[in-house]
Amino acid sequence: MTDIAIVGMDCRFPAAPDPAALWDLLMRGEESVTEIPRSRWDADAYYDPEGGPGRSNTRHAGFIEDADAFDHEFFEFSEAEAAASDPQVRLLLQTAWRALEDATLDPRAQAGSRTGVYMGVMWSHWASLMVNHVDAVTAHSGAGSGHTMAANRISHFLDLTGPSMAIDTACSSSLVAVEQACAALRSGQCDQALAGGVNVFVTPASNVHNTQAKVSAPDGRSKPFSAHADGFGSAEGVGVLVLRRLGDALEAGLPVYAVIKGGSINHGGRSSTVTAPNPAAHQAVMGEAYERSGVTAADVAFVEAHGTGTPLGDRLEVRALGRVHGVPRDEPCALGSIKGNIGHAEGAAGIAGLIKVALALHHRVLPASRYAADESPRLRLAKNGLRLAVEPLPLHAGTVNGAVSAFGWGGTNAHLVLATAPEAAPAREGGVGDGGGVLTVSAPDAAGLRRAVSLLAADVAARSDVPLDELAWSSNQVKASGPARFALAVRDRDVALAELEKAADAVNAADAADAADAPQPERLAVGWLFPGADAWSPGMSRELHSRSPLYRRALAETDHALQPHLGWSVRDALFVAGSEETAGPVVFAVAHALGRTLADLGVVPDWTAGHGVGQYAAAVLAGELDLTDAARLVAATPDASGRADAEIEKGLDGGPTHLVEIAGALAAPLAAPHRSSRLLPPGADGDELLRLVADLYQAGLDPTWDQLYEPDRQVRHRLSPYTFATTGRFWWPPLPPTEEIAR
């Protein structure tokens, strides 16, 4: 079976706004249950410790902070559209974007890709409110609510063309969604997948239901495998994974958290009731998953159980786990359940458990089970070949396997088998030997750009173990496609940090970012101006030649074309024994090589002009003359003269232009709306190419970033994902007491 790589993730769970915070919560062994906020509903109005009709036996649950906050402008929603949209849909949009960035992918660059979207969702409180409040239904209601939009909105916004579907199998929804995504990748229906799930409470309906079904813990806390287990506590959550076939992920150089070896889905058939667990079916789905994945149960170091904390459910699950994993083995299989930390996230419970497993394999340590010290003797875990992790459990060297289960209350069960990622190549050391590059971030607007610059500064400061040029290349791959842009040419880490901190300062960032908000033409034309022989100076471009492989190759190509006609090497004349007598051919060679370098970087001119021998370079790079003929002309007329003032004026008359001066200088600065940059100014330090690329990028051009770095520098590193603004808070008006719900 084809292995599937988890290459990116993002999540929000109670007291854990991202994967790093979730991991920290798990490793500290803490929980995130709180009192139900009054911004959701009046918990006292629905509370009854006896769980009477229409009432809940708890005032506690786990809630996502700011679930109502949304950057509707970023996602191109009108205020009316955002107000009509289910918060579950909005949360998934934001989480999917951040997961792609975590995968070191530019979300905008996924447009048109065969990316599938598979989202698990269970409750739809928002849609039920509309049914009971038809006066609140608007033209946007259909596109903003219902399960289908949980997936379809993501596909539409990112222009993804793979399968797109929401999946509801109750508490197993999100794990089933991941398994369906894996199946689609293996069958070739898509080449990449976003998979996950969401669970948000807008009304007390699910809490009331769980109370009436006798599965709700009075204190709102899930206590899996505990002697004091008395039901589960509900929780909100959202999580999204980015999946690729492992071979494709490794070929693309994507970082891998963990590998999904295989999985299985089944149904419990006709158990005693439609909601009653069937341990035989649990046992079967695990056995099928191991058979399909090529992993034996004895080789599984730990299982993230469904583990809700209901006495019956835990007992039946342990029975099935013991029959599968309690085979003769050197050590008992470790057991855990994230529900002891964050609660039961219902439609997002499976993805919560899967993220925990992936992070445990990635960090090579299994967090302790929160209630391990209170293990229920009735479960007889040791007899079943199982154990709870009393403290964080280091995982052994080499390949480690883990697994995760999720069981839906309607009988749909899922089990996935995971393994540690393949060993990565040794990292290059950072520090003094860092190569140069251009750090980039972008955003839809000035405010977003200020936040992005601050995050980039923090990333560079925190990642001293990563070479600066690799961080720069990573930022080019993920952060460069927005309209408001910031770029910084870098080589020295301390200088880069100082410049980033300066740019991240509110005033300076505002100055830089506000320029991006100023009215701009859709695209500045690009003009190239090449110098004549009078631009010659001893050793010109020496530093650039030593630092830029791209320029070295271009200069060697030009030298090769000139030598048969000159009888000498322009490179020797340039760097060894040149003089004013060789100025014409040398300046032509430098000018042509610089232009060729820019072209290879994706900077294509709309027009070119040149003084003296520069006219030949301009003609070659405009496609009007081939290099061989130009070399012959340069050799014949090395002291060619003439000014290109008329051509420059004609080019500028064509519209707002960014004029790139290839060495030399204009007689006078350009007036707005034109701009100019100089590629080889006097006293150049070798980083002028980086600075020019940064300047052109900020002006709206999109360089071919890969050409700026040697292949061994093109290593992907995760950077902090985009932080969305809160452009509005969109929530259903707080509900009155019970008569409103009953209506």
Structure tokens at 472: 């720069």
Average pLDDT over all residues of the chain: 91
Query: Would you say residue 743 lies in a domain?
Result: no
Count of the separate structural domains present in the chain: 3
Q: What span, in angstroms and rounded, lies between the C-alpha atoms of 203 and 201?
A: 6
Last residue of a domain, one of 469, 493, 517: 517
Query: Would you say residue 615 lies in a domain?
Result: yes
Same domain, 130 and 263: yes
Same domain, 252 and 175: yes
In this structure, are residues 416 and 174 in contact, taking their beta carbons and an 8 Å threshold? Answer: no
Q: 3-class DSSP state for residue 575?
A: helix
Query: Would you say residue 722 lies in a domain?
Result: no
| Active-site residue flag, 611 | no
Same domain, 262 and 349: yes
Which pLDDT score, from 0 to 100, does residue 680 have?
75
Please give the order of strands across the beta sheet that includes 675-678.
607-610, 525-530, 657-661, 675-678
Query: Would you say residue 739 lies in a domain?
Result: no
Proportion of the chain in helix, strand, coil states, percent, rounded to 5: 45, 20, 40
Query: Would you say residue 706 lies in a domain?
Result: no
Report the candidate in 572, 566, 543, 556 with the shortest Cα–Cα distance to residue 630: 566
Same domain, 529 and 513: no
Which pLDDT score, from 0 to 100, does residue 430 have?
41
Residues in the chain: 743
Quick: pLDDT tens for 556-570: 999 999 999 999 999
CATH at residue 633: 3.40.366.10
In this structure, are residues 322 and 334 in contact, taking their beta carbons and an 8 Å threshold? Answer: no
- CB hemisphere CA count around 479 (13 angstroms): 33
Q: What span, in angstroms and rounded, lies between the C-alpha atoms of 394 and 410?
A: 36
Same domain, 558 and 589: yes
Same domain, 352 and 389: yes
Last residue of a domain, one of 517, 534, 560: 517
pTM, 2 dp: 0.93
Last residue of a domain, one of 400, 424, 448: 424
Which pLDDT score, from 0 to 100, does residue 735 have?
45
For residue 456, the enclosing domain spans: 437-517
Q: Which residues, at least 6 apart from 422, have a Cβ–Cβ distance to it below 8 Å? A: 246, 250, 256, 259
End-to-end CA distance of the chain: 52
| Active-site residue flag, 306 | yes
Query: Would you say residue 734 lies in a domain?
Result: no
CATH at residue 101: 3.40.47.10
Q: How would DSSP label each residue in 161-206?
A: -S-EEEE-BTBTHHHHHHHHHHHHHHHTS-SEEEEEEEE--SSSHH
Which pLDDT score, from 0 to 100, does residue 523 have?
67
Same domain, 411 and 449: no
Which pLDDT score, from 0 to 100, does residue 662 have?
86
Which pLDDT score, from 0 to 100, does residue 668 have?
63
In this structure, are residues 295 and 419 in contact, taking their beta carbons and an 8 Å threshold? Answer: yes
Same domain, 222 and 319: yes
Choice among 125, 147, 282, 344 that is catalytic: 344
Quick: pLDDT tens for 353-406: 999 999 999 999 999 999 999 999 999 999 999 999 999 999 999 999 999 999
Q: What is the DSSP letter of 576?
A: I
Choice among 60, 147, 171, 592 that is catalytic: 171
Choice among 306, 592, 611, 717 that is catalytic: 306
Same domain, 478 and 383: no
Three-state helix/strand/coil letters over 600-616 = HCCCCCCEEEECCCHHH
Query: Would you say residue 12 lies in a domain?
Result: yes
Same domain, 18 and 105: yes
Q: Torsions phi, psi of 561, nearest 5?
A: -70, -35
Same domain, 173 and 67: yes
Same domain, 299 and 410: yes
Is 274 exposed, middle or buried, given 0-12, 13-18 or 19+ CB atoms closer than 10 A? Answer: exposed
Query: Would you say residue 742 lies in a domain?
Result: no
Mean pLDDT, 10 residues at a time, over the chain (743 residues)? Answer: 97 98 98 95 96 97 97 95 94 99 98 99 86 81 85 98 98 99 99 99 94 97 98 98 98 98 97 87 98 97 98 96 90 97 98 99 98 95 95 97 97 98 69 71 92 94 94 96 94 92 68 47 79 87 88 95 94 80 91 94 92 94 95 89 81 86 69 78 77 91 92 94 95 56 39
